A and B are shown apart, each in its own frame.
Chain A
Amino acid sequence: MPPVDPSCPDLAAELGFARRLDQLERQNAELRQKLRINQCLCTATGDLIFVHPLEAAGQAPVFASVNDEACRRLGYAREELLRMRPQDIIAEADLDDVEEEVRALQADGELQFLKTLVGRSGQRIPVEIRSRTFEDAGRVMAVSIARDITEREIQRRQLAEQESRLRLLTDNLPAQMAYVDRDQVYRFVNARYSERFGVPVASIVGRRVCEVLGESVYAEFKPSIERALAGEFAQQRARTPSCADGTPRWVDARFVPDIVAGEVRGYYVLVLDVHDHVVASEALARQERVVEDFVQRAPVGIAVCDAQGAIQRANPAFETLLGYGPDELTGLRASDITHPDDRAGDLALCGRVVSGACEVASCRKRYLHRDGGIVWADLTVSMADREAGLWFGVVRDVTGEVGESFQQQRLLTAIEQSDDSIVITAPDGTIEYVNAAFTRHTGYRADEVLGRNPRLLKSGAQDHAFYAEIWRTLLAGESWSGQLVNRRRDGSMFTEAASITPVRDAQGRTVNYVAVKRDITHEQELERDIRQAQKMEAIGQLAAGIAHDFNNVVYAIMGNTELALTRLPDDHDAGGFLRDSLTACLRARDLVGRILAFSRRQDAGREQTDLNQVVGEVLDLLRSALPSTVDLVAEIDPACPPILADGTDVHQILMNLCSNAVQAMPGGKGRLVVGLDVDPASAGAWIRLRVADDGAGMTPEVARRCFEPYFTTKGVGEGTGMGLSIVHGLVTGLGGTLAVDTAPGRGTAIAIRLPAAAVDHTAAAPPAPPRPAPGTRAGRLMVVEDEPSVLRLETSALAQAGYQVSPFGDPAAALAAFAADPGGFDLVLTDQTMPGATGVDLARAIHDLRADLPIILCSGYGPDRSTAALQALGIRRRLAKPVALDDLVAAVASSLGDRAGAASPPDRVRS
């Protein structure tokens, strides 16, 4: 404030000057005091104080007075500042308003406004200025007090920045935010919140919630709002209309109470639009339901397994396929339900998928049904969740297909492997298929005949008319059957029984011919052999039939001849004739004996056979049959143990070998050696039978093939080529071996080794004779036979052998006795044909009572039962009548021996 000029005293009146002076003095003192106070105030304040005349800006009066603070802050000396005008310290940007402000100040007398001052060094000082006018000596003056608002300005700017940041933040949040005070008036909303209503932020702030939301939406959120206002957190999902088109959208709204010092001042609202999420979730859930439905109803098996192969879940189709109930497969391992042979493959397949080697893998495999059966299925494995190591398998039941293809495969295999040759031709006869048997029978490989005509097999044995007849039959659509002699690839002939059939399509046209042909060369030869054998058998039977009478005739002649001789003097002429007659009788006897021996047909099967006896018989036969040019040498070890064989087999082996040997002798002259001994290297386990000749011998090629069926070096009609092959079959059938030692010109030796019959080593005695002496047997026998003479005979023979025999003439009585004491018998011997009941009936009844009891059935003819069926009834042996008594005793002995060796205890009786 400018000091009041004190130098203007009113000197007009002297009167009272002193008083006046005094008054002035007082006033002056008061003024000075005021001035001091003012000066003090001006100096002490932190504000900048300027006094200047208030005039139009253009007149630009300089400052009348400034305080120290103004000088200091602006950086001017007082003298400098008092020469300056207000405009000189106002920032240029603020100058525009000055005129207006001056007018406002003039009008109102006071004014508050903001300005930025600029100091000497250019420093800018934001100030808030309060100006007031006063009059001083007729001039309108203004005192302006400028307060530095730099701090306030900084704070304000910071606040503005913060708010701006906050808004930026909230406006960019995906959530809608608002703050509502306890009067339910919006105090803050972010941009998104306002967007929801399609209005600017400002139009919401200050309005009531119910007004902004609308009645219905407010009603929906009211419970949550009330809870928030009660100080609780609240959350709510609701569908609210969207601003865009009014369609409802799902939102999640959170209500967070704003509590200060225990008092709820309002709440924050946080609204998240979850519409897309909710819709997507619902869609996903629907999709999952569809997938689940699909899995549940799928007609294929589906299972989810973990990396270890444990089934986590399986669908009903899979459970049903393998016979399991709901959830029963869960926890089982894939290997538990896989066929053992397919487990490794299954594991490898899953391994490839689980390891990521491939995305999807399939295989055909066998599952195990719960009942143990096999289920064929196609399995497709793919990854369900690689991170979790879960994979799923889709399983399709192909048991039917496999069965079908199996059937087809079996059919193909049957045709391919059939022992009959099968040829399929086109209608014109071109060969389209031949099976393996065709190649075996003809020697032609399939590739050599496909596309060719079957006439390549023609042998010339059939004439043109024969083939014309075949074609006439076939072209008439009928099958032709008959025999054909054809030629093999190697030129040899063979006979086929052929059946040729036209194969028709659905329209009845002949599309193929199929020929099924059996090589009957073998059969024909066998038939010849059989006819030969039958002839021999007939001769044998004839011989046996006449033997009795013949021998009696011979005996009568022989005996009477001898009687006559006894009555003749030694030197009588007739003696020589009678002796010749006697010799002829002996030859007749031997002849019948040999025929009987040769035709002897003992179908007793394998039994302990004394090789010495058989070899002796063969040698006898050979001696009388061989020409004297053959030197027959027997090298027989008489101590040779028996072998287990059918004597006739050994007979045949030797006869075949010897006849071969003799035939190999050039001109039928030579040496034939038959040897029999124990192989010294085998400790008695092997018997050696040897047939050697000094004939032509064989080349290595022939020796290699000499045991092959039909292989012969003889001319047509001289041999069947079966001799050595039969020998081979018989020897191997007896468990023996053959070896050939031969060379051209050096003869042939065939060495056979046969296993000796097992000897009971438990007995200290030397090998028991084949038929133990009579009277040494023990056992209780029931003999049932309706013919008294036979019963008597059997009873006495068996009793003679040492058995305790209970004879019965009637099966009913026998059964009654047996039922009374089932343990009282060791063996039952029964006739088959009896009045009342057959032997089989009796055996069945006895078997029911005691299953372990051996039963022997005697019958004149074979009962209509297989051996297995008889054995099921306990019938160990069947003897054909008439039975030689020694055979009977032997059969009883061996059956009792069977039983002794059997596992079942003898006292096991069925009630």
Chain B
Amino acid sequence: MVTRILVVEDDPSVQSMLRQTLVDAGYDVLTANDGSEVIALLKAQSIDLLITDMVMPMSGVELLGSLVKPGLAGGPGFKIIAISGGGDLDPERYLRSAKLLGADRTLAKPILRQVLLQTIDEVLAE
């Protein structure tokens, strides 16, 4: 079964670029523009990995906060990579928050393709 990755990114140019990169790498890719879409989408689909930006209309922080319910046995059932280029705070802070909320890996934008793919491999192998 092909590994399914959900990319949450509100910047269309980044979203399409990421989608193409992952498709090229052989993944089944779903996309969402905002955290709220993810919630709806996850009700219908199961995924192996969530790659989410942290600064969006429904922020990645909020998204992760709602996805990773405390004490929920087994966690969300998929891996999470948080990516960020910064916002009101510098990207490091967002990524640290993401880590705290259960993200498996965090990456600061922009990300070299090789770094991204290698991280995905690592996360999925865990």
Contact = CB atoms under 8 A, between A and B. Distances in A.
Interface of A: 544-545, 547-560, 562-563, 566, 585-586, 589, 593, 596-597, 600, 774, 789, 792-793, 795-797, 799-801, 805, 882, 884-887, 889
B39 interface: no
B100 A555 contact: no
A783 to B, nearest CB: 12
A596 B100 contact: no
A547 B55 CA distance: 11
B17 A544 contact: no
Nearest to A789: B62
Given A548-B87, A796-B101, 17 more contacts: A547-B86, A548-B86, A552-B11, A552-B14, A555-B14, A559-B18, A560-B13, A563-B24, A566-B24, A589-B110, A596-B86, A600-B90, A797-B65, A882-B88, A885-B97, A886-B93, A886-B96
Contacts of A884: 89, 93-94, 96-97
18 contacts: A544-B88, A544-B90, A553-B13, A555-B17, A555-B109, A556-B11, A558-B110, A558-B112, A559-B18, A559-B21, A559-B113, A792-B65, A792-B66, A885-B61, A885-B97, A886-B96, A886-B97, A886-B100
Interface centre among A549, A551, A774, A882, by most B CB within 10 Å?
Answer: A551
Given A797-B65, A885-B61, A556 B14 contact: yes
Contacts of A882: 88-89
Given A563-B17, A585-B110, A551 B62 contact: no
A566 B108 CA distance: 22
B62 A792 contact: yes
Interface residues of B, number: 39
Contact of A562 (B13, B84, B96, B112): B112
Nearest to A793: B65
A562 B21 contact: yes
Interface stretch (B26-34, B44-52, B68-76): B68-76
Interface in B77-116: 84-91, 93-94, 96-97, 99-102, 108-113
Given A547-B86, A886-B96, A552 B13 contact: yes
Q: Which residue, of A548, A793, A805, A889, has the highest number of chain B Cβ atoms within 10 A?
A: A548
A887 B87 CA distance: 17
Contacts of A593: 108
The 7 closest A-B pairs by CB, nearest first: A551-B85, A799-B70, A555-B110, A547-B86, A559-B17, A556-B13, A562-B113
A585 B110 CA distance: 8
Which one of A554, A559, A563, A566 has the greatest number of beta carbons of chain B within 10 Å? A559
Nearest to B88: A882
Contacts of A585: 110
A692 B99 CA distance: 39
B3 interface: no
B61 A793 contact: yes
A797 B111 CA distance: 26
A885 B100 contact: yes
A801 B88 CA distance: 24
Contacts of B118: none
Contact of B14 (A559, A793, A886): A559
Instruction: Give the interface SS of chain A, mostly helix, strand, loop or mixed.
Output: helix
B109 A552 contact: yes
Contacts of A793: 61-62, 65
A547 B24 contact: no
A553 B86 CA distance: 12
A733 B99 CA distance: 34
B70 A556 contact: no
Given A560-B17, A562-B21, A792-B62, A554 B110 contact: yes
A589 to B, nearest CB: 5
Which of B61, B70, B111: most chain A Cβ within 10 A?
B70
A562 B17 CA distance: 10
A756 B21 CA distance: 47
Contact of A552 (B68, B85, B102): B85
A174 to B, nearest CB: 118
A796 B97 contact: no
Contacts of B113: 559, 562-563, 566
A559 B18 CA distance: 7
B110 A559 contact: yes
B103 to A, nearest CB: 11
Contacts of B70: 795-796, 799-800, 805
A533 B102 CA distance: 37
Interface string B5-31: 000000101100110110010000000
A797 B17 contact: no
A563 B21 contact: yes
A659 to B, nearest CB: 24
Nearest to B90: A596
Contact of A551 (B65, B91, B96, B99): B91
Nearest to A559: B17
Nearest to B18: A559
A62 B57 CA distance: 190
A797 B21 contact: no
Nearest to B70: A799
A593 B85 CA distance: 10
Nearest to B89: A884
Nearest to B11: A552
A809 B99 CA distance: 26
Contacts of A797: 65, 97, 100-101
A798 B20 CA distance: 37
B91 A889 contact: no
A548 B68 contact: no
B36 to A, nearest CB: 11
B24 A889 contact: no
A547 B100 contact: no
Contacts of B20: 563
Given A559-B17, A884-B96, A547 B87 contact: yes
Nearest to A540: B90
